[in-house]
Amino acid sequence: MADSHQIRVSLAVMRHPRCQREAGGMSPTATLELRGVDKSFGPVHVLSSVGLTANAGEVTALVGDNGAGKSTLVKCIGGIHRVDAGEFIFDGTPQVIGGPRDAARLGVEIVYQDLALCDNLDIVDNMFLGREEVTGLGTLDENTMEQQARQALDALSVRTVRSVRQVVASLSGGQRQTVAIAKSLLWKSTVVILDEPTAALGVAQTEQVLGLVRRLAGQGVAVLMVSHNMNDVLSVADSIVVLYLGRMAAQVRREDVTQTQVVELITAGRSGSLGLSPTESWGAGI
């Protein structure tokens, strides 16, 4: 294992290919970058100067203890909460997120834990709910929707769903998660936020969904995955953002940290062996 000096050096030189391209003269552009995000509810300061970077083609895990501010941050990115201060930069351009429509226009899709699927509708109906394709005659274009739903599932190599005309109520937890994730691909989202995607799943289904998360990133999406499950985070993330009491403890590359160091960041806001204080660590490993 690398010692703390090596880790600091590797963090400083930023080993990700995008960063190597920067070293070679090409400038990397994060799909989503947050800088100095503050959010309070009345007198309660929930987020203070939070920043993170989510790159296309990567899974960025967002971790932190209960109450650290993960959900609040996700809701700020999704336009559900308005931030008090801070910048949202999409593909290098600062943007204002004044509400959910702005976030959707910028390609942000949030897959919540409850998945917000309608049990009585089939997979196609769920994937196109509120955004149905219509024919020139004004009727629903079922064939096109069915084809596109199938394509989205195929792009993610989904083999577990037999028919896109299956009613969602009949699907397993993993299959439902699959439908919700494939929906984000269908809508060409550029930033997909997954809220605890394996929370209610058994071992086999967890493996399948984690594979799906990787393939989603493989489609060029910047995936931000909120998770309490350290095994999931360490097996699937390229980069890990740790929130501690509403502040950035660190954003580190997966390969630069051990599980113990991530747990230290989550529980204490710093990791002695990493040698990074919260202010030093912001952005160090991106």
Helix, strand, or coil here: 60? strand
In the complex, the smallest distance separating the C-beta of residue 269 from ligand ATP, rounded to whole angstroms, is: 13
C-beta of 1 vs 41, nearer to ligand ATP: 41
The residue behind tokens 């160091």 is: 261
- Output Rg (C-alpha) for the chain, integer angstroms: 19
Which residues lie near ligand ATP (CB under 6 A)?
Answer: 41, 44, 46, 64, 66-72
C-beta of 157 vs 231, nearer to ligand ATP: 231
In the complex, the smallest distance separating the C-beta of residue 67 from ligand ATP, rounded to whole angstroms, is: 4
C-beta of 122 vs 195, nearer to ligand ATP: 195
Amino acid symbol at 95:
Q
Q: How far is CA 231 from CA 70, 185, 206, 207, 210, in A?
A: 18, 25, 11, 11, 11
In the complex, the smallest distance separating the C-beta of residue 232 from ligand ATP, rounded to whole angstroms, is: 14
In the complex, the smallest distance separating the C-beta of residue 256 from ligand ATP, rounded to whole angstroms, is: 23
- Is residue 134 exposed (0-12), middle (13-18) or buried (19+ Cβ within 10 Å)? exposed
Strands 85-90 and 93-95: antiparallel
C-beta of 67 vs 99, nearer to ligand ATP: 67
Strands 239-244 and 59-64: parallel
C-beta of 17 vs 67, nearer to ligand ATP: 67
In the complex, the smallest distance separating the C-beta of residue 199 from ligand ATP, rounded to whole angstroms, is: 11
